[in-house]
Amino acid sequence: MKGRRMSVEAREARQPWILLSPALGAVLFLLIIPLMFIVVYSFWLRSAMGADTVGFYLDNWQKALSDRFYREILLNTLKIAAITTVICGLMGYPAAYFIARSRGNKMTLLLLLMLPFWISYIIRTMSWINILGTSGALNTLLMTLGIINEPMQMLYNEATVILGLVHFLLPFMVLNVYVSLEGIDTNLEDAANSLGATRWEAFTQVTLPLSLPGLAAGGLLCFVLGAGTYITPVILGGPTDAMFANLVYEAIITQLNWPLGSALSLLLLAVLGVLVAIYNRYLGMAQLAKGLG
Amino acid sequence: MDNTKRYERLLERYRNGDLDRRNFLGLIGAAGLAYGVQTPFAKFAHAQEVQQVRFDGWGGVVSEAFREHAFEPYTKATGIEVVDGTFAGSDEYLAQVRSSQEGTYNIAHLSGVFDYARYVNFGLTVKLNLDNIPNMSLVMDALTNAFRGVTPDYLSAVPYDYGTTGLAYNRKYISDEEMKEKGASILIDEAYKGKIGGWGEWRTRIWYGALQTGQDPNNIEDMEAVWDAIRSHRDLALKYWSSGAELMSLLAEEEIYVTEGWSGRIAALQQEGHDIGYYDAPGSFAWQECLHVLKGSPVEACEELLNFMLAPETSIAVAEGQNYPPALDGTKVDLGDKIPTLPAYDPTGTLASLTFADPNYWNGNEAEWSETFSRVQRGY
């Protein structure tokens, strides 16, 4: 009897692992093993003829960590991602609050929020060329209204790169904050009001602190996705505008220097990984999972 | 009994209760595993029987012309299907080929002799038997000799078309006389700050840097002067374009007034009615494209397809579609009315008036120059 119960317990203990095994297999074969290849590659060298020299060399890592060029582009990438995240937070919070507190048309508003995801990110990014270009909608409008005499040059600079990123990432922020606000009991605000707090005080002292985990989760998503972007600077950036992912692309595709590209991509992964680890340490990943769900 | 029938019988046994769920799923999983394990080796079993050849090119009108004039007649004649793929750029394509199994990719429409040399360096070539490609006798020797300079004993590719990367300018703002007077230096002219474009590719930037500093692009002696010229261009440029479509859009929308550009794309803009001039300054960058057979391909089947693709009717149709002259010698083949009017066309069949890049010189400097350009481009 005891042996039979042990067998049932053992089976129950095994069951989650059996159910998880497809997902774990996918993570192993599609993420861990390829990542290991990249780690190994990062210690190889590119020879003058373009082929790779197999071995254990620290040259790529030394270059990636000590070269001012890579350090400055990395810092610039983090700066652009941070600015984008702050703008997304400032624009996304009111929108999420409005959706969460609206009555009746909430589903319509959420559907509108999801609409941009139905269009390719590249197409959405390129749409700014038709809006901000020399013969784009905005210049045409301003000239028709007589506000300007000749087209303004608005495209192909760091500001348009940030604009493109905000356009891409704003829905992620709104969704995360919305999920967080939805979980807050509105009676708490009413209680604060009944105790003498103004609506603003009720918001700043009750709602805002309670929704901060959602804001932080949205911020983390925006920051990580923004810092890893490649296509936005290519489409909307000027000659000198580049983010770290562009350097990885150039090392691997243009220069065929896979070892250096591997080291650079691992460096970016490590920097973003540290940020995720800090977030997880203080806020946990549960809120992020809620927002993504 | 085929695999579908096997699956249906298994499913029926499961539904009838003759097989429990665990065994049913186990058998399905085992079948999937067996298929996955045998697939990489299956090609050896079919080695004697070529059923398809994969071709990768630039897509658009070029692919349409190939399909109509080469692939369909070839399939009709041989029974071999041509799988028609496209790529965005030759660099990405090389990365794909390197990370794939041999034989996955067969024939590619690649740029220049640089790519040929790179594929040779990576050991991704085959030895073509030119006797199986009779239309090679119609191709200009000057183009074939460029490949023989890289592989003197054999060819893994056949030349297909050629063109130039010359100066393209909006005639509303820049006259033909001004362009001829300033030449390549117009790309570093302060007067056009914010209205200058350029291809964000290291070879083209260095080539034009050499022309702007009065040097031979195939024998640059003062590289620092070239980098300074590239920095000047970078600071004056609005945008480095990265595709032919972007080049055309920037010029057509008047975002930029002057840039270097691909002759075929500028011809296309002109045909659309845009008043865009094209000028090949002395030493303008000439290049050729080829059809390259990759290692692991069914060589004889590919040779036969190459012969179809080099046939005058196919070559001319493709050339007219993409606005680049074909590799066929105009002194041997009647190329029709349109091709002699295309930019860069050489009626002599010698190409003596065009300056091609020396692949050994440029590929020998690729590692250093491409990396340095990446820095200079970003303001260093």
Task: Report whether A264 contacts A248 (CB < 8 A).
Answer: yes
Instruction: Please give the structure tokens belonging to residue B312.
Output: 């005058």
B44 falls within a domain = no
The residue with tokens 């999972």 is A289
B369 and B240 assigned to the same domain: yes
Question: Average pLDDT, stretch A82-86?
Answer: 98
Flag if B255 and A253 touch (Cβ within 8 Å).
no
pLDDT of residue A7: 78
- Average model confidence (pLDDT) across chain B: 89
Closest chain A residue by Cα to residue B376: A240
DSSP β-bridge partners for residue B169: B258, B277
The reply to whether B249 and B118 lie within a common domain is: no
Looking at the domain assignment, is residue B10 inside a domain? yes
Neighbours of B142 (CB within 10 A): 20
pLDDT single digits (tens) A163-194: 999 999 999 999 999 999 999 998 998 999 99
Judge whether A167 is closer than 8 Å to chain B, CB to CB.
no
pLDDT of residue B2 exceeding 50: no
Q: What pLDDT shows up at residue B300?
A: 95
**Which of A73, A242, A253 has the CB atom closest to B92's CB atom?**
A253
Examine the domain organization and report whether B81 and B137 are in the same domain: yes
Give the pLDDT band (50/70/90) at residue A1.
low
Measured distance CA(A254)–CA(B199) in Å, rounded: 13
Q: How far, in Å, CA of A26 to CA of A29, rounded?
A: 5
Closest-CA residue of chain B to A135: B253
Q: How confident is the model at residue A92 (pLDDT cuts 50, 70, 90)?
A: very high
Q: Are residues B328 and B348 in the same domain?
A: yes
Q: Any idea of the CA torsion for B168, B269, B271, B329, to the nearest 10 degrees?
A: 60
Angle at which helices A208-227 and A258-282 cross, to 10°: 180
- The answer to whether A257 contacts chain B (CB < 8 Å) is yes
Q: Which residue of B has its CA nearest to A151?
A: B255
Q: Does B45 map to a domain?
A: no
Restricting to A residues 48-87, those with a Cβ less than 8 Å away from any Cβ of B are 48-51, 69, 73
Q: Is A286 exposed, middle or buried (0-12, 13-18, 19+ CB in 10 A)?
A: exposed
User: What's residue B26's pLDDT?
Assistant: 66
Beta bridge partners of B239: B197
CB A254 to CB B239 under 8 A? no
Q: How many whole angstroms separate alpha carbon B314 and alpha carbon B342? A: 17
The 10s digit of each residue's pLDDT in B294-342 is 999 999 999 999 999 999 999 999 999 889 999 999 999 999 999 999 9
In terms of residue numbers, what domain contains B25? 3-38
Residues A242, B253: C-beta atoms closer than 8 Å: no
Domain membership of residue B271 (yes or no) is yes
Which residue in chain A has the smallest CA separation from B366? A255
CA gap B125, A74 in Å, rounded: 38
Does A45 score more than 70 pLDDT? yes
In the DSSP assignment, the letter for residue B107 is E
Test mutation, A256, A260, A264, chain B, max B CBs within 10 A: A256
User: Which of A69, A156, A256 has the CB atom closest to B375's CB atom?
Assistant: A69
A255 vs B: CB within 8 A: yes
Confidence of residue B253 (pLDDT cuts 50, 70, 90): very high
Q: How far is the alpha carbon of A224 from chain B, nearest alpha carbon, in Å?
A: 22
What pLDDT score was predicted for residue B95? 86
Statement to judge: residues B276 and B172 lie in one domain: yes
B270 found inside a domain: yes
Same domain, B323 and B291: yes
**Number of domains chain B contains:** 3
A49, B121: Cβ pair inside 8 Å? yes
Return the pLDDT at B373: 96
Average pLDDT value for residue range A89-103:
95
d(CA B363, CA B112): 12
Q: How far apart are CA B225 and CA B206, in angstroms?
A: 10
pLDDT bin (cut points 50, 70, 90) of residue B14 is: low
Write out pLDDT tens, residues A218-275.
Answer: 999 999 999 999 999 999 999 999 899 999 999 988 888 999 999 999 999 999 999 9
Q: What share of chain B is helix, strand, coil (3-state, %, to 5)?
A: 50, 15, 30
CA dist B225 and B214 (Å) reads 10
C-beta of residue B106 within 8 angstroms of C-beta of residue B123: no
Half-sphere exposure of A36 (CA within 13 A, CB side): 6
ipTM: 0.80
For residue A87, give how far its alpha carbon lies from the nearest alpha carbon of chain B (Å).
Answer: 25
Look at residue B238 and tell me if it is in a domain: yes
Closest-approach residue (CA) in chain A for B380: A69
The CATH number that applies at residue B133 is 3.40.190.10
Which contacts of B206-215 are long-range, i.e. CB under 8 A and separated by 24 or more positions?
Answer: B206/B230, B206/B369, B206/B373, B207/B165, B207/B285, B207/B357, B208/B184, B208/B233, B208/B260, B208/B285, B209/B233, B210/B283, B211/B183, B211/B184, B211/B281, B211/B282, B211/B283, B211/B284, B212/B184, B212/B185, B212/B187, B212/B188
CB spacing of A50 vs B118 below 8 angstroms: yes
Q: Which of the four pLDDT bands, split at 50, 70 and 90, describes residue B134?
A: very high
Looking at the fold, whether B216 and B267 belong to one and the same domain comes out as: yes
Q: Which two tokens stand for residue A209?
A: 């602190």
Highest mean pLDDT: which range of A192-206, B101-115, B183-197: B183-197
Same domain (yes/no): B344, B291: yes
Using a CB–CB cut-off of 8 Å, the residues of B that contact A are 89, 91-92, 94-95, 118, 121-122, 194, 198, 200-202, 234, 237-240, 242, 249, 253-255, 363-364, 366-367, 370-371, 374-375, 377-380
C-alpha closest to that of B113 among B146, B151, B160, B158: B146
Residues B70 and B213 in one domain: no
Q: How far apart, in Å, do the first and last CA atoms of chain B sit? A: 67
Closest CA to B67 of B297, B293, B314: B314
Q: Is residue B316 in some structural domain? A: yes
Kindly state the average pLDDT of the residues B246-264: 95
A240 contacts B234? CB cut-off 8 A: yes
Q: What is the distance of C-alpha B154 from the center of its chain? A: 21
| Chain B: closest CA distance from residue A223 (Å) | 22
> SS3 of B304, please?
helix
Are residues A242 and B200, on separate chains, in Cβ contact within 8 Å? no
Chain B CB within 8 Å of residue A140 CB: no
Q: Mapping DSSP to helix (H, G, I), strand (E, B) and coil, where does residue B328 land?
A: strand
The pLDDT of residue B270 is 94
Residues B350 and B317 in one domain: yes
**Judgement on whether residues B208 and B254 belong to the same structural domain of the protein:** yes
From CA B4, how far away is CA A275, in angstroms rounded?
50
Q: Do B226 and B314 belong together in one domain?
A: no
CA dihedral A253, A224, B243, B82 (to 10 degrees): 60
Average pLDDT, chain A: 91
Distance of alpha carbon B145 from alpha carbon B371, whole angstroms: 30
